[in-house]
Amino acid sequence: MTGRGVLEAEAGYSPELDCIPGIQFVDHVAIAVRPGELEGQVRAYESLGFRTIHREEVWGSDQVREVLMQVGEGPNLIQLLEPLNSDSPIAKLIAKNGGHGGLAHVAFRVENARIAFESLQNKGFRIVDPAPRPGSRGTTVFFVHPKSKAESPFGVLIEIVEKPGVK
């Protein structure tokens, strides 16, 4: 595999993602950060020219401290996620990775999360959430399991994100 195919494979790309109605772009790449290391990670990204655009503690099923960072004026973000407790899915991911942080998920922006949810459900994707739900910064989100399609697993958790204010 050469060129674009290698990049797509490394990024967890699947041609089936082309079928998501209204997909616009990569919203963010989420990185799991070990407890107590969030501020150090923020400083490290700031040294690369990133700036913090949002901070929030997200409870419910997520249980994380989140920092969203942006470089330049583009729409693509880095999301740093630190678990708030040992029940957090991010804490479990870090434990599964031998105590190391790293890639948590890749998020794609869509025009309408409900339509994307129904489309993926009808195509047989394994969706983690029972329905689109409130996410951070006023978004609507849902997650797609990395092993949704046995014949072509993504290899990474996928988040679908609808921006705030869309009905």
pLDDT value at residue 19 = 64
CB 82 within 8 A of CB 33: yes
* Domain membership flag for residue 167: no
Q: What's the pTM value of the predicted model, to 2 decimals?
A: 0.83
Average pLDDT, the chain: 87
pLDDT value at residue 14 = 55
Pairing of strands 133-134, 77-83: unpaired
In the chain, how many domains are there? 1
Residue numbers of the domain that contains 79: 4-162
* Domain membership flag for residue 98: yes
Q: Can you give the CATH number for the domain in which 95 is found?
A: 3.10.180.10
Alpha-carbon span 144 to 160, nearest angstrom: 8
Position with higher pLDDT, 95 vs 71: 95
In this model, does residue 108 exceed pLDDT 60?
A: yes
* Domain membership flag for residue 155: yes
SS (H, E, C) 43-96: HHHHCCCCEEEEEEEECCCCCEEEEEEECCCCCCEEEEEEECCCCCHHHHHHHH
